[in-house]
Amino acid sequence: MGRKIILPAILLSVFTHSCNQASIPCPTKEQVKNNVKEFIPTDFTIEEINDLRDIGNLCEVIIKVGSEPIVFYMDRKGKYIIAGNIISVSDKKNLTREKIQEHMKVSQDILKELEKYVNLKFGESQKYIYKITDPDCPFCQKAQPIIEEWGKKNNVEVRYILFPLPIHPEAYEKSVAMICSKSEVGDIYKELNKNFISKNQCEEGKKAIEENLKLAEKIGINGTPTLIGMNGRIHVGVPSEEVLDKLIK
């Protein structure tokens, strides 16, 4: 028995009336903000509004909540919001996901600010990436050897910003101890793999971690590992070498 594909009524409405709206421009940033602010219970900025006249006569809206881009679509009168992915049938490209990746970036101002929060470094080079990491995050540990090997091979410095997540109850004290120990990154990660616990809770370390937590909230980082390249590009999760290469181009 074949699967039924049910299009949302809102989407059908937009496509049915697209010819009638052909001469209407997309809503302005101010109109979009007024129309969607009740649905987004936090501060956001509108990055772009693009005219998708050739795709159902839609308008594409890209907003940012912190550093996280969100893409949705509207009709030309701004009456409807359409959430979901647009996929090209001809080449199977997910156009929505591509647009999100394009806007997964931080500004040069934030890049400069990040430098103040670096807790540890691996390597020394003019090429660099930032790794926002939690000592008890299994994905951070999985990413570590990939990043280290890639960094050595490509002469890239890795700058660590420790961000203990509240879901890991021991991560805060471990993060403080990692700063206080003044050890090399490689040695620290070897200890972490042995269920590292330290009572070395210096005030310098505590202050640094508190500042990191404020930074993460400010720029909208809520998961680890988050990698930020010298070009401002962001990747969340365990990276491939191809992904890492894009962070320094």
Contact status, residue 158 vs residue 200, Cβ threshold 8 Å = no
Q: Are residues 44 and 133 in the same domain?
A: no
1 found inside a domain: no
Residues 6+ apart with CB under 8 A from 21: 57, 75, 76, 77
Residue where a domain stops, chosen among 102, 126, 145: 102
pLDDT in tens, 20-65: 555 789 999 999 999 998 888 888 999 999 999 888 889 999 998 8
- Amino acid (one-letter) located at 131: K
Rounded-to-10 torsion of CA 50, 227, 161, 248: -100
Residues 137 and 239 in one domain: yes
Domain end among 53, 68, 102:
102
| Gap between the Cα atoms of 61 and 49, Å rounded | 5
Beta-bridged to residue 60, according to DSSP, are: 50, 73
DSSP run (H or E) holding 172: helix 171-181
Task: Say if residue 150's pLDDT is above 70.
Answer: yes
DSSP 110: H
Is the pLDDT score of 19 beyond 90?
A: no
Q: Which residues contact 44 (CB under 8 A, 6 or more apart)?
A: 63, 64, 65, 70
Mean pLDDT of 67-88: 91
Domain count along the chain: 2
CATH of the domain at 78: 3.10.450.70
What is the pLDDT at residue 147? 95
Whole-angstrom distance, CA of residue 199 vs CA of residue 196: 10
Q: What is the pLDDT, as a whole number, of residue 234?
A: 93
pLDDT at 17: 43
Q: Which helix (H) or strand (E) holds 152?
A: helix 138-154
51 vs 13, higher pLDDT: 51
DSSP letter (8 states) at residue 120: E
Range of the domain at 80: 9-102
Residue 71 and residue 120 share a domain:
no
Reduced to 3 states (helix: H, G, I; strand: E, B; else coil), residue 61 is strand
pTM, rounded to two decimals: 0.73
* pLDDT above 80 (res 195): no
Read off the pLDDT of residues 173-194 as tens digits, 9 standing for 90 and up.
Answer: 989 988 888 777 766 666 655 5
Per-residue confidence (pLDDT) for residue 186, from 0 to 100: 65
Task: Please provide the average confidence, as pLDDT, over all residues in the chain.
Answer: 85
How far is the C-alpha of 229 from the C-alpha of 130, rounded, in Å?
6
- Say yes or no: 70 and 163 in one domain: no
Domain co-membership, 115 together with 195: yes
